Structure 1
Amino acid sequence: MSPSTIVFQFQDGQPAQTHVGASGESVLDVALNNGIKLQHNCGGVCGCSTCHIYVEQGLDELPDISEKEEDFIDRAINPRINSRLACQCVLPNQGLEVVVLLPPQNFLGH
């Protein structure tokens, strides 16, 4: 199977970046492995809302949202129906394209 790709879009005007992710890697892992500075105050263990992202494409292919993740998203700035935590968006075993929008990160989060 082909690897998954993640397209990172930025609200601050940076050009989009596309990176390959392996099965079992989270969107946060792929971001950090490719020099994208995505907040993750809890270390990526679903303990805060600082890695909040918007999944613009591929949401249905990602693991279902847990109650814990949903609670933290409720604390994020400007949550939307397509909000997720990047640390919880783990790529499945199939090749797919996920498009995520990174909101401005000029806050500390919860």
Structure 2
Amino acid sequence: MRNSCVKAVNITFQFQDGQTAQTHVAAEGESVLDVALNNGIQLQHNCGGVCGCSTCHVYVVRGENDLPEISDKEEDFIDRAINPRINSRLACQCVVQSTSNDLVILVPPQNFLGH
């Protein structure tokens, strides 16, 4: 039996609405959306986390280069998000990889009806 190590990554969630920042551990293969929902962080996800809407839009403050490259589909949905920026991503597409370092994610206000 092989002893396999799964790399854990800390994800710090900061909030534009003034909530206290929270740090949670993510395992390789988990998305930022999964970690948020598993830890009681309200993050809209109208499509169920399948890159079919823009409601799980977040800003990657630190660690963007450690995430999978943005796809054309994700980029199209980010263009529909409220206030997209150069560091915008969809939380459902930000999957922790074996090479990932700790991430800092800024969660915009969640009081909207998304697309």
Where on the TM-score scale, by shorter chain, does this alignment land: which range? over 0.9
Between the aligned residues of both structures, percent identity stands at: 75
Q: CA deviation at 1:105?
A: 1.1
How high is the TM-score relative to the length of structure 1? Answer: 0.97
* Alpha-carbon distance in 2 for matches of 1:87, 1:25: 9
What RMSD in Å do the two structures reach over aligned CA positions? 1.0
1:78 is matched with 83
1:103 to 100, 108, 111: 108
Greater radius of gyration (CA) = 2
In the TM superposition, structure 1's runs of 4+ consecutive aligned residues that sit over 3 Å from their partners are none
Say how many residue pairs are matched. 110
* Alignment deviations for residues 53-95 of structure 1 (CA, whole Å, 9 cap, x no partner): 0000000010000000000000000000000000000000145
Aligned ranges 1:6-45 → 2 under 5 Å: 6-45=11-50
How high is the TM-score relative to the length of structure 2? Answer: 0.93
